[in-house]
Amino acid sequence: MSYLEWAESQLAEIELLTSMFPTREELEITDQLALAELRDYVEGSASTDCPPPSRPHFFIKQKLDTASMERTDVILSCTYPSEYPSVLPEITLRCAYLSRAQQTQLHTDLNAYLMEHCLGEVCVLSAVEWVKDNLQLFINKSLSAAPTPKKESSSPRPQETFSRLWIYSHHIYNKTKRKNILEWSKELGLSGFSMPGKPGIVCVEGLHFACEEFWSRVKALTWKKIMIRHREDFPLDGQCGDNRTVESIDSRRKFTGFEEAMFDPHGNRGNHMDLGQLYQFLNEKGCCEIFQMYFGIEGR
């Protein structure tokens, strides 16, 4: 197949997915520009014969019924390589009831199934159906591997933890890294901010497992220097999935949503921020003590 034929298959599948999952709560296309470039390339209105460099990326969000617990939220994150469907799409899975190791195994088994049965054909719907059919097996393994709780009238779920990570990097310039930080924080339901430039600062806050997943992805990228400068952990009231837990999470947040924050960029490359403005920003969020942890001086 040619790049054009691959692109035609990709666009056809996205249009099918859009018709099957019509709401943003079911299907979220994170980069509309990449989709527009793909469509222009297929329709022949692009100015180049090469496939567009930006690749379509989207989330499929499903609430699946399981025998073990309430409806379970599962998120499939999907990116199309240029050669898809001659190669598999890049699919990752998120499910709060599975450990990272179990999610990795689920992802490995899914890829093995797609490689055997779907290579050469569009397969995102097949991936969704496979997850629906097999998620219960992994949840059962998760429950059987956990210590047997004492018998009670109703067994409480493990207590959740709210975390806040303050990440320091020697610098953050690369546009792809900056885009990853924004997309991953949104995917994982984290709030906070990132400050590009030199130095680079990232703060994420949310459920503990989501913060840890964000950090594992970020630190795997290539950096001159990156580290967690400070972390905060708070036990949450209520049980997992309970409305009180949602309220408890929101009450702990210092930030609303996630943003890339710029503070009067200056310098020859525009890569230095006004630290006075950064201090005022942190002070407004009730986090002024963090400034001294980063820079060793008190802000004013």
The pLDDT tens digits for 90-145 are: 888 888 777 777 877 888 899 899 999 998 999 999 999 998 888 877 777 655 55
Residue 44's pLDDT is 83
* CATH topology agreement for domains 3-144 and 161-295: no
* pTM reported for the whole predicted model: 0.51
- Quick one: pLDDT band at residue 156, thresholds 50, 70, 90? very low
Give CA separation, 283 vs 23, 89, 151, 264, 287, in Å: 38, 44, 48, 17, 5
Count CA within 13 A, CB hemisphere, residue 44: 0
The b/e string for 199-227 (b: 16+ C-beta within 10 A; e otherwise) is bbbbbbbbbbbbbebbbeebeeeebeebe
Rg over alpha carbons for the chain, rounded to the nearest Å, is 22
- Quick one: pLDDT band at residue 159, thresholds 50, 70, 90? low
pLDDT score of 18 more than 90: yes
- Residue 249 tokens read as 């999470």
Residue 151's pLDDT is 46
Q: Which CATH architecture has domain 161-295?
A: 2-Layer Sandwich (3.30)
Residue 32's pLDDT is 84
Give CA separation, 191 vs 93, 163, 188, in Å: 20, 11, 9
**Per-residue pLDDT tens for 265-299?**
877 666 778 888 999 999 999 998 888 888 775 55
Residue 68's pLDDT is 53
Contact call for residues 104 and 91 (beta carbons, < 8 A): no
Distance CA 230, CA 164 (A): 8
- Quick one: pLDDT band at residue 191, thresholds 50, 70, 90? very high
Residue 69's pLDDT is 54
- The DSSP call for residue 157 is P
Nearest to 7 by CA among 35, 30, 29: 35
In CATH, the number for domain 3-144 is: 3.10.110.10
Nearest to 6 by CA among 42, 35, 49, 33: 42
Contact call for residues 166 and 231 (beta carbons, < 8 A): yes
pLDDT score of 70 more than 80: no
134 CB-near residues (< 8 Å, 6+ apart): 106, 109, 110
Q: Is 77 helix (H, G, I), strand (E, B) or coil?
A: strand
Distance CA 98, CA 93 (A): 10
For residues 148-152, average pLDDT: 46
More confident: 297 or 206: 206
**Mean pLDDT across the chain:** 83
- Residue 77 tokens read as 């994150």
pLDDT score of 152 more than 50: no
For residues 44-54, average pLDDT: 75
Cβ neighbourhood burial of 273 (10 Å; 0-12, 13-18, 19+): buried
- Residue 182 tokens read as 């924004």
- Quick one: pLDDT band at residue 153, thresholds 50, 70, 90? very low
Distance CA 88, CA 168 (A): 35
Residue 282's pLDDT is 92
Beta strands 72-79 and 191-195, pairing class: unpaired
**Per-residue pLDDT tens for 214-264?**
999 898 888 889 999 899 988 876 544 445 556 677 888 999 889 998 888
Say how many residues make up the chain.
300
Cα(first)–Cα(last) distance of the chain, in Å? 62
Task: Provide, rounded to the nearest whole percent, the portion of the chain with pLDDT above 70.
Answer: 82
Per domain, the residue ranges of the chain are 3-144, 161-295
Residue 284's pLDDT is 92
Nearest to 55 by CA among 90, 81, 29, 30: 81
